[in-house]
Structure 1
Amino acid sequence: LFTSLETDGFTQPVVVVKQDQERYSIIDGFHRHELASGRAALKKRLKGYLPVTCLEKSSPRRDSLMAATIRHNRARGRHQIHAMSEIVQELAHLGWCDEKIGKELGMDSDEVLRLKQINGLVEMFSDRQFSQAWTVK
């Protein structure tokens, strides 16, 4: 990443959301930010500035920040199955229904279901209705 930033510059801005009057949370670009603020060559090249874009409609709540981060990483094709499964699990624990998880993270219902299955947690499916065909008489 450092070589890319040093050679080509910032081809993508750091994406942030405003937390309050003086603080921002990074949605996408944490490692770019760390390198830009920690490497003298990049600091000099950037003249103390960092290319940033601020999301206007995002909530500063943790679940909304997680969803925004996932959307940005998925758009670039950079997501890992196990990490995504853990995020789906956490959002479900925060009260998000499958439909909301799918909508906010850009997944269809099958993908949400598969990611829930990866962790193998029965509790993830406790809100599911089962057909009478599953009832033993």
Structure 2
Amino acid sequence: MKFSSPVYNIIPVPIEKIEPNTYNPNSVAPPELKLLYDSIKEDGYTMPIVCYYDSEKDLYIIVDGFHRYRIMLDYQDIYEREGGKLPVSVIDKPIDCRMASTIRHNRARGSHDVDLMSNIISELHELGRSDAWISRHLGMDKDEILRLKQITGLTALFKEVEFGRAWKAIENDLQDEWEEVEK
């Protein structure tokens, strides 16, 4: 089956059927948020909101585009002009891959709240994702992942690691995994 990018299937979705995700670490300062409003006011929505459709809730969960969504909620003139609908591109991925998508979208253009990024690293770890997976999918190097893990607390994120001689074996195993990622 030939791959087709989700952007070729944009749908108009009432804003009432869209909700933010619970893990987005991206923040936009007030001047940039005002600039986003000005951009949407002048140019319209030029990029869709990326969402996951939750059929059980009949809601679209934002993967990327939270601030474009916020503009419609916060500015009645935009809401009215757009008829209360946002352009949505739907992706169908499990939660860990949606988190990775959010980070990739954000890192390509913005900055992140360190504490929220640390929480995402912790959640991905709890979902069973390795540091190599996180590196590959979120575009982080080993040191950045380690620093973010340290913020949330070493105990929880390193509970399965035995230190001492066993650490070297695990480190070697991780090195093999890192080398595989870099190929």
Q: TM-score, normalization: structure 2?
A: 0.59
Name the structure, 1 or 2, with higher relative contact order (CA <8 Å, separation 6+).
2
Q: Does residue 1:27 correspond to 2:63, yes or no?
A: yes
Number of equivalenced pairs: 131
1:122: how far off? Answer: 2.2
1:5 is matched with 40
Q: Give the Cα–Cα distance (whole angstroms) in 2 for the partners of residues 95 and 37 of structure 1.
A: 36
1:131: how far off? Answer: 4.5
Q: Does residue 1:18 correspond to 2:53, yes or no?
A: yes
Q: Does residue 1:92 correspond to 2:92, yes or no?
A: no
Residues 1:133 and 1:104: Cα distance change in structure 2 (over 3 Å): closer
Q: Give the Cα–Cα distance (whole angstroms) in 2 for the partners of residues 93 and 49 of structure 1.
A: 36
1:38: how far off? Answer: 5.1
Unpaired runs of at least 5, structure 1: none
One-letter code aligned to 2:123: E
Q: Give the Cα–Cα distance (whole angstroms) in 1 for the partners of residues 115 and 74 of structure 2.
A: 30
Q: Does residue 1:52 correspond to 2:88, yes or no?
A: yes
Aligned CA RMSD, in angstroms, stands at: 2.6
Identity of aligned residues (%): 45
1:97: how far off? Answer: 2.0
Q: TM-score, normalization: structure 1?
A: 0.75
Q: Deviations over 1:81-113 (max 9, x none)?
A: 221112111221232222222222222222211
SS in 2 for 1:50: strand
